[in-house]
Amino acid sequence: MKRNKATNRALKRPKLSGDAGGGRFGYFVTRAVMNIRQNMLVNTLTVGTITLGLLILSLFLLVYVNVEGLAENWSEKVQVTVYFESEPDPVTLRNLTSQVEALSGTANAKFVSKVEALNRFRERLKGQEALLDGLAPDILPASLEIRLKKGHRESAAVDAYVSRLKKIPGVAEVQYGEEWVRRFSTFMSFMRVTGLVLGAFLVLAVVLIVSNTIKLTIYARQDELEIMALVGGTKWFIKIPFLIEGIIQGSAGALLAELVLFGVYFAFLHNAGNFLSFNPADAGLSFLPLEWLAGLLAGGMLLGLLGSLTSLKRFVRI
C-alpha cells in the first residue's frame, strides 16, 4: 500500500460501499472485544447485573420445575376404579379390558379379583388381621383399576373419561375420588397461574434492570458514539461493535448465572439434609432441563442485543 506516502495529494479512499459491509465482521468482533477490555469496570458491572437478574429468574424456574415435577408424581395417584357385582368370566373380562384400554387417556388397566382385594386389605391391616377372621373371602368386590395418562388427570378430563367409560357395556359402578381430583386440579391451576404471573413480573423486572444498566453504560460512552459519527462512521458501523458487546455481555451473564445456579443446586442437594427433615438427594430434585438452560442462554444474548439496540437508537442519530 502506498497510502502512507501520500502527503501532498488527497489520499486514495477505499470504495465507500464496502465500508460497513459483511466482510468486516472480523473487525467488528475485534473492536467489540477491545471495547470490553478498555471499559472493563463498566462491562463487569453490566455482566454482574445480567448475572444477578438471570440468576433470580433461573432460581425461580428451578423451584417451579421441581414443584411441577412433584405435582406430576402426585397426579399418578389419580385412579379410576370399576367395581363388579360378581367376578366376570375370563372372556368377558378380556373383552372389557381391551375396550377400556382402547379408550383415549387410559395408561393401563389392572384386574383385581375378590381374593386379591381381600389379601391387599389384610396387608394394610398388618398386626390386626384378626379383625378379618370369620369374614367370607368374597366380601370385597372384584374391580378393574385404571391409571390415566399424563394430561388426563385433571378434574374435567377425568369426568369426561368416566362418562366415556360408563358407556362400555358391563361397566356399572365407577369411583375415582372426585373430591381429591378436584382439589388437585385447583392446586395445579393455582400453581400455574401464580407461576406465570410471578414469572412474568420477574422477566419484566430483569428486562428493565438490564436494559437500563446497558443504557447507562452506553450513555457513559456518548463521546465515543459522537466521534465515530463525526469522522464519518455509518449507522451500522458504529452500532455493530456495541451490539456484539451486548451479546457477549448477555451470554457471559447467562453462563455465569447458570454456573452459580448449578453451584447452589449442588450445595442444596448435598447439605440441605442437615437442616431439613428430608434428604433432597432422595426426593428426586432435578436441575433445569438442557433446553431450558439453552433458552436462558439465548434469553441472555437477546437481552444484551436488544438492550444495546434500544439504547443506541437514542444516541446514534444518523
Partner 1 sequence: MIRLNNVYMSYGGNVAALHDVSLHIAKGDFVYVTGASGAGKTTLMRLFYLAHAPSRGQILIDGQNITRFKPAQIPYLRRDFGVVFQDFKLLPNRTVLENVGITLEVLGWNKKDIARRVNHVLKQMGLEHKVNSTPQRLSGGEQQRIALARALVNEPKILLADEPTGNLDEATANQVMSVLKEANIRGTTVVVATHDRHLLDKHPRRVIMVDKGRISEGGDEA
Question: Which residues are at the interface with partner 1 (CB under 8 A)?
Answer: 1, 3-4, 6-11, 13-14, 16, 18-19, 24, 27, 31, 38-39, 223-224, 226-235, 237, 318
CB of 49 vs partner 1, minimal distance in Å: 21
Q: Which three cell numbers, joined as nine digits, stand for 63?
A: 423451584
Specify the residue, 19 or 116, whose C-beta has the smaller distance to partner 1. Answer: 19
CB of 217 vs partner 1, minimal distance in Å: 13
Specify the residue, 39 or 119, whose C-beta has the smaller distance to partner 1. Answer: 39
Specify the residue, 76 or 226, whose C-beta has the smaller distance to partner 1. Answer: 226
In the chain, how long is the greatest CA-to-CA distance? 121
CB of 293 vs partner 1, minimal distance in Å: 35
CB 247 within 8 A of CB 42: no
CB of 238 vs partner 1, minimal distance in Å: 9
Query: Collapsing DSSP states into helix, strand and coil, what is residue 107?
Result: strand
Specify the residue, 228 or 256, whose C-beta has the smaller distance to partner 1. Answer: 228
Specify the residue, 9 or 126, whose C-beta has the smaller distance to partner 1. Answer: 9
CB of 253 vs partner 1, minimal distance in Å: 22
173-175 vs 142-148, strand pairing mode: unpaired
146 phi/psi in degrees, rounded to 5: -115, 125
236 phi/psi in degrees, rounded to 5: -80, -25
Residue 281, number of CB atoms within 10 A of its CB: 13
CA 34-35-41 angle, to 5 degrees, is 115
Q: How far is CA 53 from the centre of its chain?
A: 16
